[in-house]
Amino acid sequence: MKIDITKEIIFQTARSGGKGGQNVNKVETMVEGYFSIRNSAMLTAVQKDTLESKLSAKINADGLLQVRSQVFRTQLGNKAEVIRKMHVLLEQGLKKEKRRIATKPSAAARERRIEGKKRQGQTKEGRRKIRGDE
């Protein structure tokens, strides 16, 4: 399920740290992307609720999904990285989790466990000091 939200992302730039020499001090290469899950026209109400619960750590106080990138030296590269990160986050957030099927240990496994416990007990029993009254 691929949803293209590129048109709904609001981009903001700032000067980034890291390598780049004089360029770092002059050019705004860091890109921050903001996406409003609540106001999105691309998502259904169920998808919005799911994303808001799963991505709550990445959503700021204004209700915007916030992603930033400053790994590349160019604004264009960082913008593409923000878009990629957002798509990955949405894909992970909308992925259906498999229900866990509860299982019980087999009789043989239970027996092996008890045997192991008994063996451990005997080992510890052998480490005891022998008293005169026994």
Looking at residue 112, what is its pLDDT? 97
- The CATH class for the domain spanning 6-94 reads alpha beta
User: Rounded mean pLDDT of the chain?
Assistant: 82
* For residues 69-91, average pLDDT: 85
pLDDT at residue 94 above 90?
A: no
* For residues 6-23, average pLDDT: 72
- Residues 8/41, Cβ–Cβ less than 8 Å: yes
Q: What is the pLDDT of residues 23-78, one digit of tens each?
A: 666 777 788 888 888 877 777 888 878 878 888 788 887 878 888 888 887 888 88
The domain ranges of the chain are 6-94
DSSP letters of 73-110?
Answer: SSHHHHHHHHHHHHHHHHHHHHSPPPPPPP----HHHH
